[in-house]
């Protein structure tokens, strides 16, 4: 489906999302959920994603992957650290290394992978998704010191 016009993301990942290199040696990561674009530079906040679900797809050059530590994002779907204890009244904690790596990516060099409309079966379901988005946004804001 069509990505909304006002989203910051690229049509295709053609260069390294971190440094902009078009080096032939690169990996493509396409597991990270759409909500986590908010950790990237210029990415869309979870509450701005609206009624969509999906993934982000980005390219990372060999140097950034191996030397700059972006390999921590391999197969990453969420930036939530399931082992860590949540603090400061947040419902979950973030994985510091992964958030730091995601923060190095420029959203304008990241593309949308899968995109599908969220089809709510009920109002409570919709509210649940909304509250999850708000929680993700709050915990990211806190991580980046934007509170």
Binding interface with Zn ion (CB under 5 A):
16, 18-19, 21, 61, 64
Distance in angstroms (rounded) separating the CA atoms of residues 96 and 9 = 24
Nearer residue to Zn ion within complex by CB, 16 or 94: 16
- Give CA separation, 10 vs 45, 55, 97, in Å: 16, 13, 25
Nearer residue to Zn ion within complex by CB, 18 or 140: 18
In DSSP terms, which residues pair with 111 in a beta bridge? 10, 57
In DSSP terms, which residues pair with 28 in a beta bridge? 59
Nearer residue to Zn ion within complex by CB, 61 or 115: 61
Q: How far is the CB of 84 from Zn ion (least distance, A)?
A: 28
Q: How far is the CB of 102 from Zn ion (least distance, A)?
A: 14
Q: How far is the CB of 107 from Zn ion (least distance, A)?
A: 15
Distance in angstroms (rounded) separating the CA atoms of residues 15 and 21 = 5
């Amino acid at each position: 489906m069509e990505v909304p016009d006002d989203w910051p993301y690229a049509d295709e990942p053609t260069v390294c999302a971190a440094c902009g290199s078009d080096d032939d040696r690169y990996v493509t990561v396409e597991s990270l959920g759409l909500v986590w674009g908010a950790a990237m530079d210029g990415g869309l906040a979870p509450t701005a994603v609206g009624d969509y679900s999906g993934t982000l797809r980005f390219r990372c050059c060999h140097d950034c992957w191996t030397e700059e530590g972006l390999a921590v994002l391999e197969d990453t779907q969420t930036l939530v650290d399931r082992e860590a204890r949540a603090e400061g009244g947040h419902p979950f904690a973030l994985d510091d290394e992964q958030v730091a790596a995601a923060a190095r990516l420029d959203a304008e060099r990241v593309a949308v992978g899968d995109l599908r409309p969220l089809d709510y079966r009920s109002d409570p379901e919709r509210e649940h998704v909304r509250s999850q988005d708000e929680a993700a946004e709050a915990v990211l804001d806190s991580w980046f010191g934007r509170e």
